[in-house]
Structure 1
């Protein structure tokens, strides 16, 4: 008899062990072992258990293993999370089978040896059969569903608990997320704020919403939110740095003249336009969108145009605001020289519109929903043994679960956004549909987006500086990985799984809209490298940039109102402190909005930073070394960012690699 040493590594997650009966079968080119029972008493969380399987003859090169789990009489049916199985053959060869997923059913699961194989590498019928069976099962587990018309499709599920075990939150993540939400709502209940429909009588009263939950930056914003320089700064380094662009020619519907605006150093608007010192934010995406009705009260949503001027001291300040797209007598252009509350009210309307554009387009659509498309397509169309799966699967962690929660708690019929945001309800889906139609592939690729917005030389633009460095580090890592497996363009063209994957993304993510420029197939290695880089950057860095500062800039509600309950002023000189307070959302709406951004800004204790790979999907030496080099590059960038931040009045930390999660997980 020949003996195979089998070592089973169970994950360290809470409840990852099992008391059920686990069976294994070894399958090689020259035969297979009997289905052998493994003692479940040795399969605890974090355990490393060794077994011996005897065979009358050599199985040859091992192709796969089969695992199944059956619960016995009086035993509960519990899920099991094995990390990997290592097998030492009688010939002394060590085979590694990465698993890293929950096994919660009684089905037989096949796992391939860890060496990455493209579809055309399969020379063995057993391997090809296992590949086909895996994709068949995943297609059944990960179906597509259209939650909203004109919006990227999502996973078909009846809530987070109905998702496959392998993509659900860990016990730790679930517990912390629930506790944070309950703690926030309980605090509001105790203060009697959650059901208070009155308007705020004094701005200082807002301080008591979460007086014990504040950050250094949220306190700073509360103190300086009315100042023009901070208003401008946020469009570069705040929650929504993806809209502003250089303006060389004023839009025809924004008739600002030289006489209107005051430019320093005896210059004028025309000269500054030519010199490239004027910038624009145009919220045309919101034009014509009706405001929500909250507690029977009509809300208001505007589509402003905002003009900024880069001063000689490099500060970006607003110099003109038009609150609606069509010029008219009842749509004045507000200026810093207007009365205090005219100008402040105009900025408040801009920040409310910015909240909507940020949350629905930059945040929800361009990170959460696209990350879900990337994840579902990967799980449906690419087997675990494929190098692309191994490269991208760490960047899908928890995305399906958090998005299912969002569809229930935030954007569903009873969600906070639906009930309390100016753009909630049917308006939300209209904005998402319009936003998807305006997406371009270039806008998702960071260097292209910066170039297209002509922002290469804007000073103090830390989002750009850190983002470009991250994109380049990710690009070099992805290029090394892809080129290790694809030496020639013909190999990319020959890989049917790659082609089916990108076709699935184009169909379900971008609804076959040609104008987006999203690839429908891959013909070259560089095309594949760029797209995979975009996927990783979107799921990690871009999400961090638009997510991590939500509480910093949103905890002080007047700086980022979730809704506004008075129409925008139609003439100057009609505003006051009293009208401003009546325009801001009432107490209960304010606290719901702040509670939401507090919840969505909390970092979980099982947070996995970009470049950290606790699960070893790659087993070959070269890819594993590339992962180590990738992490080293990110660590060095983190040191540089921290050094720079020491000299900044407002440190920019959102794209510090140690603060960037590997995936859209919150």
Structure 2
């Protein structure tokens, strides 16, 4: 019946369109439109399908008009390309053939106008009730052209939301000055639309990319407890910019943006094409995480206050992975059952509502339950763990502080030669330093200025320095750990420090294990705040915004970088809403508490874009030097440094690909200087996106092809490989909380105290009472396990989700070469993991280093480099939800394992 009605509008009942042109039939050009309807994508909108059908029947259809790339319309004063006649999507009601992931292919038939000549774009007008996700449009047998392809990947809202019809360009690539005259105005107008006018609150259908400070973390209207400084826009608290939402200021503070109520947190604004959740199961995950925030965290906190449950032994911890954990009856369980559907309970908490939590065994304890406690593994994880980016070579002994001595007194290390001289394999300290055998993991200067305030919260921790010695077999031997507190008399009196040396037995051995735990707490917090969120998520967002504002989709650099930006803005927005905000999950679970983001702002002062290049980072940390004879001209001083060894291979593969690509479009430096869009892009990145550091002298000038290649390589590296290295090892290493605790709840016990006697009589229980509490552990590792998974359809480095992403053959060939090179690198990584001489690649825990292996299958693999910070996830398979579209692997930002991360994809 539906088809008969449609035919009344469009055809002869046989699906044949018989519009006449003069005395004969017009030539037709057929096309295929691939899209995903809203009712397929949206978890809750069940009216979309029905209302869209009604609109279709009433003639309110989806139209497309081809835009000429060669001929302008003489009636248009602005020389825009000539428009063809509207063509309509066919059989909207009856087309039910799914492709992949909810995609549907529709036919469209254009009346060919010879004056169109070469189609360069098309306008689309959506007269339906609801939006849809337009993926691709492909025209066949275009006269003189053959096949013409459009890569769209964008939400198209009903026409009432736009002042002009949406435009999509072909997959051709044009420099600004090379753009055909008929398309130039369209190109310019599209960029103007994307920049917006800087006014008003932005709505979901707006496509505006603009900048704002991190001024939405606090909520002063809720009281002084929730006041937080604005990050960005000042020398005191600099920070990268985030996407503007345009929400009104709070009533209490005009400089603080009002926050979305938690119940509305699904609706936080980012440009719609930046929001993940292209399948309804992503919304399922969103609501699950939101439920965690609303119902579970408050109950958990109340329960922990009333009954501070502890693990009594490491065997109790292991039971989580060997049978599960019985959750006691009470408000927490009642709220779980009441507010979260059974399927969510099963997936989020691995429970069927019958009180049982169950977890897969993290890789770090799969082979051996106690090898994580060895000194060798403690040192190895600085080179091959989830935060392998901080260790540096020791260049002076004892270590000196860079803190202002007038403000903080003497903060230099109190470690003496007596502490370490007998553990240097016969070398003197000076000789060990000269031979590049001494290294340090330094968490002192970053933490000390905040430590007095931090320890007024529930946290009880220290600033730490850890010295290590590089042995002949390539492994690192911990020599000493220094734990420091601010002086009782005041900051200006310096630090009070105590030094601990390795011991295996007795109370000294127990205190050494505790000292390593305090280092782990510091490293875990630094990892989440700096290595992960600041140095991958936050610093990338300005590049996403500037690219969309200043580089047309026709620009070659847009096409190069776009896959590496997917979903970054959205995940960052959700983090601001529920994770890094005042009173949010991160403040509840990492040691800096309310000072967490403020601390990251202070550390951002020393961020340097050029030092994000892996070779520069390694040289800055003194773990590598320039050597013309070494591969790629970089020689590692720790030869068996898995992150650096694998990372350099990936880095130079990316750089070679970027060089091949950029050299195709830019034949000389002059073309860089004359590229108007490129110059405006780079100016905006520096002066707006990272505006607090705009006067830094280290910014590349973007005057040479080398500047462009280096800069694009850094951007891609940070968003893909660096992020993978610090993200996907979280559950494998930190899913077993004792290995990487995130909170310490009491200080090192003093001799003669009850805590000291407990340490002597039951050291394991004393250890577990010092780190994260039991119920926080349960919920934290529940989410880490889910969020550390890959989907089965993830798009990895060296891959694209659309093969026709450009029409230029040489870049496509270069990209294919890049993919093959990554495959070769992957094979070499596995071969190295089999080499028994490379002890750091596997270690005492028998856990091969795979975090920079380029590809992965779906699941909890501890390997794989997705193209962007957050890449699409999966749907349902094998009876288990493998969540769709995105990486709330990232939300992991929250903290590796304490209470649930809760973020809510739109």
TM-score by length of 2: 0.68
Distance in 1 between residues matched to 2:477 and 2:292, nearest whole Å? 35
Q: What residue number does 1:171 align with?
A: 279
- 8 Å Cα contact 1:611/1:630 also seen in 2: yes
Deviation at 1:375, TM superposition (A): 1.6
Confirm whether residue 226 of structure 1 aligns to residue 423 of structure 2.
Answer: no
Q: What residue number does 2:415 align with?
A: 256
Q: Of 242, 245, 251, which residue of structure 2 is paired with 1:154?
A: 242
Q: Of 517, 540, 552, which residue of structure 2 is paired with 1:348?
A: 517
Q: Relative to 1, partners in 2 of residues 1:326 and 1:289: Cα closer, same or farther, differing over 3 Å?
A: closer
Distance in 1 between residues matched to 2:174 and 2:284, nearest whole Å? 38
Q: What residue number does 1:448 align with?
A: 616
- 8 Å Cα contact 1:565/1:584 also seen in 2: yes
**Where does structure 1 lack aligned partners over 5 or more consecutive residues?**
none
Q: Relative to 1, partners in 2 of residues 1:608 and 1:618: Cα closer, same or farther, differing over 3 Å?
A: same
Q: What residue number does 2:847 align with?
A: 650
Partner SS, residue 213 of structure 1: coil
Deviation at 1:176, TM superposition (A): 6.6
Distance in 2 between residues matched to 1:515 and 1:238, nearest whole Å? 35
Q: What residue number does 1:298 align with?
A: 458
Confirm whether residue 266 of structure 1 aligns to residue 426 of structure 2.
Answer: yes
Distance in 2 between residues matched to 1:515 and 1:92, nearest whole Å? 49
Matches within 5 A, 1:273-288: 273-283=433-443, 284-288=445-449
Deviation at 1:594, TM superposition (A): 2.6
Distance in 2 between residues matched to 1:55 and 1:9, nearest whole Å? 17
- Matched residue count: 658
Q: What residue number does 1:334 align with?
A: 500
Distance in 2 between residues matched to 1:396 and 1:43, nearest whole Å? 33
- 8 Å Cα contact 1:314/1:459 also seen in 2: yes
Q: Of 112, 122, 129, which residue of structure 1 is paired with 2:169?
A: 112
Partner SS, residue 417 of structure 2: coil
Q: What residue number does 1:239 align with?
A: 386
- 8 Å Cα contact 2:87/2:108 also seen in 1: no
Q: What residue number does 2:303 align with?
A: 195
- 8 Å Cα contact 2:550/2:681 also seen in 1: yes
- 8 Å Cα contact 1:83/1:101 also seen in 2: no
Distance in 1 between residues matched to 2:440 and 2:750, nearest whole Å? 22
Q: Relative to 1, partners in 2 of residues 1:593 and 1:38: Cα closer, same or farther, differing over 3 Å?
A: closer
- 8 Å Cα contact 1:173/1:604 also seen in 2: no
Q: Relative to 1, partners in 2 of residues 1:459 and 1:188: Cα closer, same or farther, differing over 3 Å?
A: farther
Deviation at 1:89, TM superposition (A): 3.0
Deviation at 1:465, TM superposition (A): 0.8
- 8 Å Cα contact 2:364/2:732 also seen in 1: yes
Per-residue CA deviations over 1:131-151 (Å, capped at 9, x if unaligned) read 122112222322222124122
Q: Of 660, 683, 687, which residue of structure 2 is paired with 1:507?
A: 687
Q: Of 801, 807, 810, which residue of structure 2 is paired with 1:619?
A: 807
- 8 Å Cα contact 2:29/2:112 also seen in 1: no
Deviation at 1:380, TM superposition (A): 1.9
Deviation at 1:548, TM superposition (A): 0.7
Q: Of 731, 740, 747, which residue of structure 2 is paired with 1:567?
A: 747
Q: Of 63, 85, 94, which residue of structure 2 is paired with 1:34?
A: 85
Confirm whether residue 591 of structure 1 aligns to residue 778 of structure 2.
Answer: yes
Q: What residue number does 1:551 align with?
A: 731
Q: Of 675, 685, 690, which residue of structure 2 is paired with 1:495?
A: 675
Matches within 5 A, 1:63-82: 63-71=120-128, 76-82=129-135
Q: What residue number does 1:22 align with?
A: 62
Deviation at 1:529, TM superposition (A): 0.5
Per-residue CA deviations over 1:306-362 (Å, capped at 9, x if unaligned) read 100112222102101112288979411111148112211111111101011111110
TM-score by length of 1: 0.91
Confirm whether residue 468 of structure 1 aligns to residue 648 of structure 2.
Answer: yes
Distance in 1 between residues matched to 2:452 and 2:266, nearest whole Å? 30
Partner SS, residue 497 of structure 2: coil
Q: Relative to 1, partners in 2 of residues 1:520 and 1:264: Cα closer, same or farther, differing over 3 Å?
A: closer
Distance in 2 between residues matched to 1:84 and 1:347, nearest whole Å? 57
- 8 Å Cα contact 1:540/1:610 also seen in 2: yes
Matches within 5 A, 1:76-155: 76-86=129-139, 88-106=141-159, 107=162, 108-124=165-181, 126-140=182-196, 141-147=208-214, 148-149=230-231, 150-155=238-243
**Where does structure 2 lack aligned partners over 5 or more consecutive residues?**
1-20, 42-48, 72-81, 197-207, 215-229, 232-237, 246-259, 325-358, 401-411, 488-493, 624-635, 836-841, 856-863, 871-886, 888-906
Partner SS, residue 137 of structure 2: strand
Distance in 2 between residues matched to 1:572 and 1:144, nearest whole Å? 57
Distance in 2 between residues matched to 1:565 and 1:334, nearest whole Å? 19
Deviation at 1:61, TM superposition (A): 2.8
Deviation at 1:367, TM superposition (A): 0.6
- 8 Å Cα contact 1:499/1:521 also seen in 2: no
Partner SS, residue 99 of structure 1: strand
Alpha carbon RMSD of aligned pairs, Å?
3.1
- 8 Å Cα contact 1:168/1:401 also seen in 2: yes
